[in-house]
Structure 1
Amino acid sequence: MDLFSELEPANSLADMITNDKFQDTAFDAHLHEDGKGIVIHVPFGRLYYAPCFFDQATSDKFIDYFLACDGINSKEYDWQHDDALNDRPFTNIAWHQDSISMYGKTHKLPRISAWYGDSDRPYTYSGITLQPKPWTEELNWLRSQLAPICRRQFNSVLLNWYRSGEDYISWHTDAEKELGVNPLIASINFGESRRFLLRLKEDHDIKIELPLHHGSVLVMAGALQHHWQHSVPKQKKVKSNRINLTFRTIST
């Protein structure tokens, strides 16, 4: 069966498809065979979008797991203004705020990251090279949940922690050479809902917006990374944490 196979729409997602189109767009859409997600066909690629892939209890468990820090109530702590975040004793994930140099100045990235995966799979982006930490049991379990959708075993995952709506990521593609030709990117999200925007590089009027909720999954497939950019913009009204995991396959 194809990566994103077609099935009749289920009632729980029917409102997202009108006349075989996704919401108020011109993009063809149908229900994935798992009954949890919708497949959206866009120029040069396709998307799998499941706004509630994981249930509430599972999602709550994972947000607590990712933010656990010895001696700190992570849910109430003001992480956004913690200048010593890189020195905090996180329990489960080796979070780190990286910096980049631009025009002779060094700037902290507006999000916190961690890189996990196979030991021989480093990843370089924006001039930053990340050496992977070994898989945890929890990350392995999440990876296994993606296998029926993606038909593969990912060898790496990039974790991004958005501490509030002040954290963001600008327009970009995930098309680094390490990701190979037509990279498949699978995204899992826990915590606060954030806007996820995509636009066609050749025509910015062709775009789509998907809200990524607590427990949602988004998969980007086909040649999409070569033709589309995506971003998570600032949202000043968002005051709490969001954890995003993007599973990837790093080529040798």
Structure 2
Amino acid sequence: MDYQTSLFADDTTDSVALAPERRRLTRGAWVDVQRSWLADPDAVFSALVEEVPWRAERREMYDSVVDVPRLVHTYLAGAPLPHPALVEARTALSRHYLPELGEPFVTAGCCFYRDGRDSVAWHGDTIGRGRTADTMVAIVSVGDPRRLLLRPRGGGSSIALTMGHGDLVVMGGSCQRTWEHAVPKVAHAGPRISVQFRPLNVF
């Protein structure tokens, strides 16, 4: 997938410009990509590492309880975000996608992939309204590049997006119901943080 780089901050309004490239998938799903979109990703990465109250989670898997292979934290609706660029990003995303989404992005889920061993398995954000209705999840990535894989739910060929420092990916339409996504383990990778902006009651 070859996307053109477009950004950037509008010097006259201090707003964040959005001009993503859209790829239509199947069954009403789509994905938007905008490279190098986030302003000052170095400062955002540092703030996230230092200020987010990261926690390790455990979950049941088969007959045992295992560590979730990443650190997590979620900023619920109304909670202050750890860097002004993320507030600006959420505002810009809400404004840009309002005609399609019909509501703002209000929560920010954060995942800290400390190295190549940290990952997330195949899944869709289908807890809450994403199970039955079209919605959007906007992901901003900072830190080392990692691949985001997407595949049709129920089987089919996957596609890969490399999310780089400051890149934006938005999954929309039926993507959470009809497709799955994952961040696989890799042999070597530095730390990377993803911030997932979601509407209310989408998980």
TM-score bracket for this pair, using the shorter chain length: 0.7 to 0.9
Query: Which consecutive segments of 4 or more residues in structure 1 shift more than 3 A?
Result: none
User: Does the CA contact (< 8 Å) of 2:135 and 2:173 recur in 1?
Assistant: yes
1:135 aligns with 2:126: no
Kept in 1: contact 2:141–2:164 (CA 8 A): yes
Distance in 2, matches of 1:149 and 1:235, equals 34
Which residue identity does 1:67 align to in structure 2?
V
Tell me the equivalent position of 2:114: 163
The whole-number CA distance in structure 2 between the counterparts of 1:181 and 1:50 is: 25
Matched, 1:115 2:74: yes
After superposition, the Cα gap between the structure-2 partners of 1:230 and 1:204, relative to the gap in structure 1 and judged at 3 Å, is same
CA distance in 2, matches of 1:110, 1:234: 9
Amino acid paired to 1:232: V
Return the alpha-carbon distance in structure 2 between the equivalents of residues 113 and 185 of structure 1: 17
The answer to whether the aligner puts 1:226 opposite 2:171 as a matched pair is: no
- Provide the identity percentage: 23
CA contact (8 A) 1:46 1:222 kept: yes
What is the CA deviation profile of residues 8-51 of structure 1, one whole-angstrom value per residue up to 9, with x for unaligned ones? xxxx828xxxxxxxxxxxxxxxxxxx574211111121111012
- What root-mean-square deviation, in Å, do the aligned CA atoms of Structure 1 and Structure 2 show? 2.1
Match of 2:165 in 1: 214
**Per-residue displacement from partner, 1:110-148 (whole Å, max 9, x unpaired)?**
0000010226xxxxxxxxxxxxxx222624233113224
Distance 1:147 1:178 in 2: 18
Do 1:36 and 1:53's aligned partners in 2 also have CA atoms closer than 8 Å? no
SS of 2:165's partner is coil
Aligned pairs, number: 181
| Alpha-carbon spacing, 1:174–1:112, altered in 2? closer, same or farther (3 Å) | same
Find the structure with the greater CA-based Rg: 1
Matched, 1:60 2:42: yes
How many angstroms apart in 2 are the aligned matches of 1:217 and 1:101? Answer: 32
User: How many Å apart are 1:54 and its aligned residue?
Assistant: 2.3
Structure 1-normalised TM-score? Answer: 0.66
Q: Residue 149 of structure 1 aligns with which residue?
A: 96
Counterpart secondary structure, 2:90: helix
What does residue 51 of structure 1 align with?
35
The DSSP-based 3-state class of the residue aligned with 1:65 is helix
Q: Which runs of 5+ in 1 are unaligned?
A: 1-11, 15-33, 69-91, 120-133
Is 1:244 the equivalent of 2:202?
no
Separation (CA, whole Å) in 2 of partners of 1:174 and 1:35: 24
Question: How much has 1:183 moved relative to structure 2?
Answer: 2.1
